[in-house]
Structure 1
Amino acid sequence: MDTIQKNPSQEKHSHDHDHTHNHNHGKMPIILYFSGLVLALIALVLNNDLELVQNSLFLMATITAGYHVVVLEGIGETIENTKAQKRFAPNSHLLMGLAAIGASLIGNFWEGTLLILIFSGAHFLEEYAEGRSKREITKLLEMNPTTARLMMPNGDTKIVDVSTLKVGDRLQVLNGDQIPIDGIIVSGTTSIDESSINGESIAKEKTKGDGVFGSTINGTGSFTMEVTKENKDTVFSKILQLVNQNQNNQTKAASIIQKFEPKYVTFVLVAIVLVVVLSPFLFNWTWSESLYKGLVLLVAASPCALAAATVSATLSATSNLAKKGVLSKGSSYLSQLAGIDAIAFDKTGTLTSGKPVVTNAYFSDAVNQEKMIDIVVALEKESNHPLADAILNKFKAKNKLNIQANNQLGKGLEGEYDGHTYRIGKPTSFEGVSDEYTRLNTEWATEGKTVVYVAEDNKVLGLIALMDVPNKQAKATIDYFKQQGIHTTLITGDSEMTGKAVAKQLGIDEVIANVMPEDKSRIIDEQKEKYGVTAMVGDGVNDAPALVNADVGIAMGDGTDVAVDVSDLVLMQNDLSKLVQSHKTSSKMSRIIWQNIIFSMAVVIFLVVANFLGLSNIAISVIIHEGSTLVVILNGLRMLVSKK
């Protein structure tokens, strides 16, 4: 038997798109930092009589520990940012370096080393917190078909590479095959699992003239298809292209401190120059006093506590959520989550359980309902249709009947019993149905339910309605976001009728139905433009472009590997209540960060004023700085407290 083979080169192919400014120099920065830390500790235990050796070790420790963060990133990023923005754009790394140099110049070598150790340590912790998640699309590539069965003029089939197919080629697709490319069926009937394209778990019945999509999975039937699109233009190829495009276009939102940092550093640098130059004229200080005050001001204004303002809070929040079953791929995404203005949800497997259940059933009073249920169960036991499990879970037979069932695509299940022919099928396959059943069918279908008729000798005697119902956390989740003033949207590949029925049950603000994967990505763009910061929650391959394109992509943990790989947050166990906890935690984290920032700046202002009043020196400034840093860290650690 022919099998569709995967391309080994594709299996090894992956894309790593890190949209932050990535200074990846391997392990060397950490090695240098700890080397500096060791040198500083050695200097501290030396006898004060060895002052020259002690100060030399402090100086070496300062240079070693701060080389990567202060020299490479401080100077390097300042130059890069200045070029990019076409104006002077320094960062706090540069300011900390100048503060350390200033402290050393006036003989306070330990204070200078301490500043660098704390600042560099906080920097490395923040990089760890960010996680630098890799958005792997290897699994997405593996799902892309690579070979097809091409039908030759003499009727034989030949295995060919999908990339060689042309519009008009005819292909054979056997039962269980992955459909290689987009096209239309020219002969045969089957049912196809199209979840990789539309996210819907119920297989679609297909026959001559119906369209099929590459990467979807054929069911039990075999068919012949005609290629209608080249490989690069298929729906699945567009998913790949959109994921790549959205990743390349994505920019990490700057944190509060990152936005504030350049202006603050520029202000401090200008202020120090003015203090040194103007103080002799304004305050009658000597040039020596003026220079010393300027250096004290540099140390006082160095954002030591500010640098640690986010680290402990974000690390603690990430740890807190991990214990609750939420995996965050970077603290910046938690910051974004706190400020979302809109949130979009996929339907199947996200807001719903992903599996249909029987919601309604009605049988004519003129029939023996117990007997009809026995017949229905006997027929469905012979079926491999996705609806069969739902019906069997709902109904239990009183008497076990042995009925040979024939599964006819387009007609449904059919079997003979006690001299009669019984059939379970979709309403359109029946004629002459009474008004009673037609009315119920219309009513239930309007509610987004899938209806099947049960007939004896082609006379409908009952009907069953099935639906993929909302999961138990969905309503409370939607209610929570609406209470927060956040716009909610349902984006689904399902019909508008079904989408609106689910949205009505849950109270969702907006429904966008009948969408393809590329539509979802475009809709996220529209939501961002209309409402602001937008999150997307999904679980399927078809959600991948939208998950990457959203400001915060959130995947259900039991969803496809692709959705989990490209998302920013993962909700384990498909529990939407974890999403509410994540938003509450991220909001609390944001409040704590602001508290830390305000406190840090208050300390800086206090030290600056004390310096001008002659009440401070470098030693006092460093002590108060480190004390404020400790307070900031402890405040952030409050996020470790887990509230159920």
Structure 2
Amino acid sequence: MNEYRKGRLNHKDGGVQKHYRGNEVHDHDHGHAHDHTTEVRLFIAAVVAFVLARFVPVPAWLAASLHVATVFLAGYHVMYEGFVDTYRDSKAAGTFRPNTHLLVALAATAAILIGEFSEASLVVLIFAGAHYLENYAKEQSQKEITSLLRLNPSSARRIQANGELEEVDVSALAKGDMVRVLRGDQVPVDGEVTRGLAVLDTMSITGESVPEETSPGSAIYGGTINVGEAFDMRVTTSSEETVFSQILKVVESSQKNLSPVAQKLKQWEPRYVTTVLLAVPLVFVVSRLVTDWTLQESLYRAVVVLVSSSPCALAAASIPTNLSAISNLARNGILFRGGDDIANFADIHAIAFDKTGTLTEGRPQVTDYHFEQGELAETYLPIIVAMESSSNHPLAEAVVEAFGHLRDHQLTLDVENQIGSGLNADYQGRHYSIGKRTDEDELSPELAEHYANYAQSGKTPVLFRVDGEVAGLFAFLDLPTEEARQTIHYLNDQDIQTYMLTGDNAGTAQAVAEDLGIEHYYADILPEEKAVRIEEIRVESGLTAMVGDGVNDAPALVTADIGFAMGEGTDVAIEVADGIITNNRLSKLIYAHRIARKMNRVVLQNIAIALFVVVVLNLSNLLGGLKLATSIIFHEGSTILVIVNGLRLLRQTE
């Protein structure tokens, strides 16, 4: 497990770095806590003060006082983060590192000093409003985390040696402990049913609303809810190792990892702010030398430059959009570790899939059957079903599922399962057997032709014999799902190269690939070879995604630029993946890709809006016709516009 994590931390390609942490969303707390309720109350008080000063006839000195009060009521945290955080960040970095809040704080202070009290309060009021909108996007994303955290089990009823129940903390459970789960209880950790029939609401894990029935010996997941009668279970994992815990880790980290664009904007912010701080006195000095502006006019224009050039909208261009996309996808059953993985997924050139359980049903099904004497099918099939009913082999279960309706419940057979020859039974003086072909089996030309066709199609042929003579054939195949068919069709339409990696034989791999329309496939490969193939695909095609569900897929998921784990897969696959499809619906990849592309488009739109407004406002200011109030309204309005544009992703639906 540690090797997987190490590989992810060190893996780079074309500037894209794989990671769990790092490149985190900038948090403005910096050691000083924000009381959200107090902030809102002060903001409301500031709005009241602004309205009184602006729209109610009051003496000039009172209006000025109310505007100054508005600045400090709505913008005390802006002032703090502007001056104090700049000092702290600069001291820690050993170089000057100003932030956007510093420009707003300086603009408000400068406006007060030149007597523009109304404009000072307006710039802070609108900036604070945009700040709350940005927090709204973050809170919407946090709701997905909060709802999952509430589902995280905290206690369990452990069965003691004397049979009595003891309520303990989930963290106290050890592997092998016996636990009783009553109706309405959460399953505390991953385990297996030992007594009773478990009827579980698995929505927190799979997203499916239909309860799942499990019998003794079946694996169950922590975090699911018992909606049936009480049952007993054996603990198989610790509370930190459950599938639910792995999903929680993914969701909790999703808000901290920024998209590549957001990372660049955060890195670029101090340089931009420094440039603006140098430009303001330069504008003042140059205007005094080359224009006929008065001292008051030059000061006024310098303050307008300070407001117009502030990168508020640019700073908000990406993060609210990223968080909105993360929240939307989480609500629809797709969890990403961060905005960087979503942004990269939009630009993938190739995607590889594990076959079994990802592209296929994960269990064999009867696809064909043929009897030497077709008219005897009605006679043979009830006997075959009776024989297969005695076995729990996947192929036997497939036969019972396909022909169970023909079962004769009055037909009882003494079935013997012999290693090498399969199932054997005697009935009404004749000997019947079912199994794979041996060297002793002789097939008629008709059956031999069917056998060859089945094998060439990647199917598994099984023989039915009567008194040692082959009387019929069955063919089995793990069939592709309709979800896989839709997904591959979409990816092909988007000119994204599709690959399949499987340990199955070439015939089976070819049959599934051709059925789904997958362009390339690798068969007969070992788990460690999957990672090698992914690396080859990355070199040949570029940005590559991988989708899998098992322990054997973990190395490939780590090697890929974006690794997806199916939610019903193993905890190892989930832990190393960049994204999780919680409800096992592969077609969710289509929705995720569309949201990812839209997220990138919205971010670019926001950057264009922010830069356009800055350029237009500064040109208008230098031409001498821009009022400070107009600059504030359009500049801070652009900040609100880009945030609202990003919030649109919250309401996007499939």
TM-score (norm 1): 0.68
How far apart in 1 are the matches of 2:610 and 2:527?
46
Alignment CA distance shift 1:383-1:122 (3 Å): same
What amino acid is aligned across from residue 364 of structure 1 in structure 2? Answer: E
**Alignment of structure 1 residues 530-545 onto 2, 5 Å:** 530-545=540-555
Note the alpha carbon deviations across 1:10-68, whole angstroms, 9 max, x for none.
Answer: xxxxxx94333366798976624654443343344347528558636734753435645
Q: 2:283 aligns with which of 270, 275, 289?
A: 275
Q: 2:391 aligns with which of 383, 389, 401?
A: 383
2:614 corresponds to 1:604: yes
- Other-structure match for 2:237: none
Q: 2:371 aligns with which of 363, 372, 380?
A: 363
Alignment CA distance shift 1:42-1:634 (3 Å): closer
Q: 1:113 aligns with which of 94, 109, 124?
A: 124
How far apart in 1 are the matches of 2:350 and 2:89?
33
Residue 388 of structure 1 and its aligned partner are, at CA, apart by 1.5
Residue 434 of structure 1 and its aligned partner are, at CA, apart by 4.8
What amino acid is aligned across from residue 406 of structure 2 in structure 1? Answer: A
What amino acid is aligned across from residue 408 of structure 1 in structure 2? Answer: Q
Query: In the alignment, is the contact (CA less than 8 A) between 2:138 and 2:320 conserved in 1?
Result: no
How far apart in 1 are the matches of 2:525 and 2:145?
29
**Alignment of structure 1 residues 239-254 onto 2, 5 Å:** 254=259
Residue 110 of structure 1 and its aligned partner are, at CA, apart by 2.0
Query: In the alignment, is the contact (CA less than 8 A) between 1:130 and 1:331 conserved in 2?
Result: no
Q: 2:471 aligns with which of 461, 468, 479?
A: 461
SS class of match (1:349): coil
Moved more, 390-399 or 107-116: 107-116
2:592 corresponds to 1:582: yes
Note the alpha carbon deviations across 1:520-566, whole angstroms, 9 max, x for none.
Answer: 44444443443333222223333344445544333334434554455
Query: In the alignment, is the contact (CA less than 8 A) between 2:90 and 2:97 conserved in 1?
Result: yes
What amino acid is aligned across from residue 23 of structure 2 in structure 1? Answer: T
SS class of match (1:353): coil
SS class of match (2:545): strand
2:515 corresponds to 1:510: no
Residue 296 of structure 1 and its aligned partner are, at CA, apart by 1.5
- Other-structure match for 1:334: 342
How far apart in 1 are the matches of 2:28 and 2:99?
20
What amino acid is aligned across from residue 397 of structure 1 in structure 2? Answer: L
Alignment CA distance shift 1:437-1:115 (3 Å): same
Residue 98 of structure 1 and its aligned partner are, at CA, apart by 5.0
- Other-structure match for 2:180: none
- Other-structure match for 2:264: 259
Alignment CA distance shift 1:325-1:23 (3 Å): closer
**Alignment of structure 1 residues 488-507 onto 2, 5 Å:** 488-507=498-517
2:77 corresponds to 1:64: yes
Note the alpha carbon deviations across 1:101-160, whole angstroms, 9 max, x for none.
Answer: 555554554245336524543554555567698999xx9xxxxxxxxxxxxxxxxxxxxx
How far apart in 2 are the matches of 1:63 and 1:494?
65
SS class of match (1:55): helix
What amino acid is aligned across from residue 55 of structure 1 in structure 2? Answer: V
How far apart in 2 are the matches of 1:637 and 1:36?
22
How far apart in 2 are the matches of 1:96 and 1:429?
86
Note the alpha carbon deviations across 1:54-101, whole angstroms, 9 max, x for none.
Answer: 636734753435645x56766666777x78xxx988764665555455
2:64 corresponds to 1:55: no
Query: In the alignment, is the contact (CA less than 8 A) between 1:343 and 1:488 conserved in 2?
Result: yes
How far apart in 2 are the matches of 1:458 and 1:101?
99
Note the alpha carbon deviations across 1:447-475, whole angstroms, 9 max, x for none.
Answer: 22222121223332222111111111222
Query: In the alignment, is the contact (CA less than 8 A) between 1:370 and 1:398 conserved in 2?
Result: no
SS class of match (2:479): coil
2:49 corresponds to 1:39: no
Q: 1:18 aligns with which of 14, 17, 21?
A: 21
- Other-structure match for 2:351: 343
What amino acid is aligned across from residue 601 of structure 2 in structure 1? Answer: R
What amino acid is aligned across from residue 612 of structure 2 in structure 1? Answer: A
Aligned length: 518
Alignment CA distance shift 1:380-1:285 (3 Å): same
How far apart in 2 are the matches of 1:437 and 1:392?
23
What amino acid is aligned across from residue 506 of structure 1 in structure 2? Answer: L
Alignment CA distance shift 1:360-1:565 (3 Å): same
Residue 377 of structure 1 and its aligned partner are, at CA, apart by 0.7
Query: In the alignment, is the contact (CA less than 8 A) between 2:436 and 2:461 conserved in 1?
Result: yes
What amino acid is aligned across from residue 261 of structure 2 in structure 1? Answer: I
What amino acid is aligned across from residue 581 of structure 2 in structure 1? Answer: L
Query: In the alignment, is the contact (CA less than 8 A) between 1:33 and 1:65 conserved in 2?
Result: no
Alignment CA distance shift 1:438-1:97 (3 Å): farther
How far apart in 1 are the matches of 2:513 and 2:609?
44
How far apart in 2 are the matches of 1:487 and 1:542?
22
SS class of match (1:64): helix
- Other-structure match for 2:624: 614
Moved more, 556-565 or 574-583: 556-565
Where in structure 1 are there 5+ consecutive unaligned residues? 1-15, 140-160, 162-176, 179-243
What amino acid is aligned across from residue 132 of structure 2 in structure 1? Answer: G
How far apart in 2 are the matches of 1:25 and 1:410?
69
Alignment CA distance shift 1:91-1:340 (3 Å): farther
What amino acid is aligned across from residue 425 of structure 2 in structure 1? Answer: G
Q: 2:416 aligns with which of 406, 423, 430?
A: 406
Query: In the alignment, is the contact (CA less than 8 A) between 1:66 and 1:116 conserved in 2?
Result: no
How far apart in 2 are the matches of 1:129 and 1:426?
57
How far apart in 2 are the matches of 1:485 and 1:88?
47
How far apart in 2 are the matches of 1:42 and 1:447?
75
Note the alpha carbon deviations across 1:168-221, whole angstroms, 9 max, x for none.
Answer: xxxxxxxxx99xxxxxxxxxxxxxxxxxxxxxxxxxxxxxxxxxxxxxxxxxxx
How far apart in 2 are the matches of 1:278 and 1:545?
61
**Alignment of structure 1 residues 136-285 onto 2, 5 Å:** 254-260=259-265, 262=268, 264-265=272-273, 267-285=275-293
2:488 corresponds to 1:485: no
- Other-structure match for 1:303: 311
2:423 corresponds to 1:423: no
